[in-house]
Amino acid sequence: MAQADALVYLNGNYVPLTEARISVLDRGFLFGDGVYEVIPVYGGKPFRLGEHLRRLDHSLAGIRMVSPLSDQEWTDIFSRLIEGPHDQYLYLQVTRGAAPARDHAIPAGIEPTVFVQCSPIAPIPVGGIRAVTLEDIRWHWCHIKAITLLSNVLLRQEAVDRGAAEAILVRDGWVTEGAASNVFIVKDEAIATPPKSKDILPGITRDLVLELAEKHGFAAEERNFRREELDTADEIWMSSSTREILPVVELDGAIVGRGEPGPMWRHMQAVYQSYKQSLRDSAKLA
C-alpha cells in the first residue's frame, strides 16, 4: 500500500497523495476518458521503459491524444518518485482533462490531467493460482490501455467470488487474455499465446516471455486457440508487469497438468528472474 504522505506527481506538481485533487468535471472521472501505464521498477530503474512509453503513445493515439510530456520529462518525474532499490511500480494516468460542461463529444483546447504514483509491488502468489474462464464482455478495442476498466473489474470480481485469482476470457470460443494479464498455454513443451490484435492488450511481459523463449531455445508461437485447448494444456500461465508469470494450477475447478507449477514454467521463471537480476546488478554498477 502506498503511504498517504508519499509524494505523487499531478499536473506539474509534487504533492502528498492525500492532498492530490482533481476536478469532478475531469473526463477521466465522468467518462473514463483516459489511458494508463504500469511500469515495474527494479534496482531503482524503470523496467522496459521505452516499450512502456511507446505503448502509452499508441494508447493515446487510439483515443485521439498525444503524449503531454516528452520521454525525458516522463523520465525526470519517475526519477523523482522512485525511492530506493526495492521492487516498486510506477502507475501513470493521462486523462483528457476537465471541460467546462459534461458532453460526450471531445471539447477543443482542454489541458490533459497527468498523474504519476510510485508504490511497492505487492507480494506475488507462490505455488500457482486458480483461474476460471469467463465470457469476454469487454469492448472491441482492448489493445488500448484505457482507464475504462469496469468490465475488467466485474470479471476479476466474478473470478474472486468463485475462489480464483484471475479470469481467463473467451470471445466466441477463442481465448483472448486475462482480466488483467495475458495468457499462455504449454503443450508437449511448446508455448503458445494469442497473437496481437484489437482483442488483447499488447503486454510488455508477454513480449518479454516470447523474447526470452526465443533466446533460450524454447518452442513458442503466437496463435489463437479455443477454450477447449485449455483443458488439454500441460501448463497455463498468466503474465503481467506486477505479477510476472503466474502458473495456473486449477482451471474451472479442474487440475491443470499435475496441479503444481509445471517444468516449463519453472524453466521460464528461472530465465525471467535472472534477466531481472541482471538489470538490478547493472543498475548497481551504473
Ligand X SMILES: Cc1ncc(COP(=O)(O)O)c(C=O)c1O
Q: Interface with ligand X includes 203 (CB under 6 A)?
A: yes
Q: Interface with ligand X includes 77 (CB under 6 A)?
A: no
Nearer to ligand X, 117 or 241 (CB): 241
- In the bound complex, what is the minimum distance in angstroms from residue 197's beta carbon to ligand X? 12
Alpha-carbon span 107 to 97, nearest angstrom: 10
Helix axes 71-81, 49-62, angle to 10 degrees: 120
| Neighbour count for residue 12 (Cβ, 10 Å) | 8
One DSSP character per residue, 215-271 reads: HTT-EEEE---BHHHHHH-SEEEEEETTTEEEEEEEETTEE-TTSS--HHHHHHHHH
- In the bound complex, what is the minimum distance in angstroms from residue 205's beta carbon to ligand X? 3
CA distances to 66, 93, 249, 270 from 39, rounded to whole Å, are 19, 12, 27, 21
Catalytic residue among 45, 145, 196, 284: 145
Active-site residue flag, 145: yes
> Quick one: which segment of 84-92, 160-168, 202-210, 212-220 binds ligand X (CB under 6 A)?
202-210
- In the bound complex, what is the minimum distance in angstroms from residue 241's beta carbon to ligand X? 3
* List 43, 239, 247, 261, residue binding ligand X (CB under 6 A): 239
Q: Interface with ligand X includes 240 (CB under 6 A)?
A: yes
Q: Of 10, 28, 92, 98, give the one whose Cα is nearest residue 57.
A: 92
Q: Interface with ligand X includes 206 (CB under 6 A)?
A: yes
Q: Interface with ligand X includes 204 (CB under 6 A)?
A: yes
Q: Of 147, 255, 251, give the one whose Cα is nearest residue 201.
A: 147
| Neighbour count for residue 108 (Cβ, 10 Å) | 6
- In the bound complex, what is the minimum distance in angstroms from residue 118's beta carbon to ligand X? 16
* List 182, 192, 194, 248, residue binding ligand X (CB under 6 A): 182
Q: Interface with ligand X includes 176 (CB under 6 A)?
A: no
**If binding means CB under 6 A, how many residues of this protein chain bind ligand X?**
13
- Catalytic (active-site) positions: 145
Report the interface residues with ligand X, using CB under 6 A.
Answer: 38, 177, 180-182, 201, 203-206, 239-241
